[in-house]
Structure 1
Amino acid sequence: MSTVFDFSAVGLAGQPVNLAQYHDKVLLIVNTASACGFTPQYAGLEKLHERFHERGFEVLGFPCNQFGAQESGTHEEIGAFCEKNYGVTFPLFAKVDVNGADAHPLFQHLKKTAPGLLGTEGIKWNFTKFLVRRDGTVAKRYAPATKPDDIADDIEALLGA
């Protein structure tokens, strides 16, 4: 069975990133956008990152332009926006598709492993979140409207496990 550690992605600066480097960490993988009604969640995601990072937690942000063209900027613009407006220090990756024929293999895996409501695999909007255990398996999927702070107890439970 595959885990998220079997995948790689391109970092925001264009470098290849093997997700195996996050082995033994609890992850929150999020498809993000800079011009979305949920964009202020960047602040909450950064707070989670700051709160739990020293205990082996990482937020991984994957910008996506598939929902209302809400992430149309360049990689440089995305990074600058996130740093300037939300003080983001967690890793951001190059833009990906999360649905359709060109969906990134990581998101194909996440959707299959943790389907949404009524068993649907498709991601409905920006800021869908996947909480991943230290062994790389998906613990839970959260809807875009779920605030990052509402995930803190689940993160705590996985970090303590």
Structure 2
Amino acid sequence: MKKHTIAVIVNDQPGVLQRVAGLFGRRGFNIESITVGASEEKGLSRMVIVTTGDDHTLEQITKQLYKLIDVIKVIDLSSNAMVGRELALIKVHAEPAMRPEILGVVETFRASVVDIGSNTMMVQVVGDTEKIDAMAELLQPYGIRELSRTGVTALNRGNMKQ
């Protein structure tokens, strides 16, 4: 099983996200992450979907997506060089005595502290999925109180416009 990152350009209309997600569910395809936002063209949105499967599965997903009326374009970002990023906010238990240790982890990952409470710290980290996973793993011993991740957003590298 291979991880695929797909960009789907869709009309910016109510219900499109539901129809795309429903298609995946009905066909038994899993969505690992999905992000949706405005695209470079007014009236269109870009969905970035991370899913797993073989090449046949990706082909089936693409064909099914094109059957949806609001889908304009489907791009397999993972077939070329791409930049993919995710953002995570991690609230960790941080008694004052432990903060220097936690700050060491934060600095190592080029993350930043965005909030400090009486016994917690909130850290913001941006990077690829593996970087977010690694940081969460290192913060786990301190006690992660809450964790929120955006999911991957991505574009192809270089001068390619698809």
TM-score between both structures, scaled by the size of structure 2: 0.25
- Which has the larger share of strand? 2
TM-score between both structures, scaled by the size of structure 1: 0.26
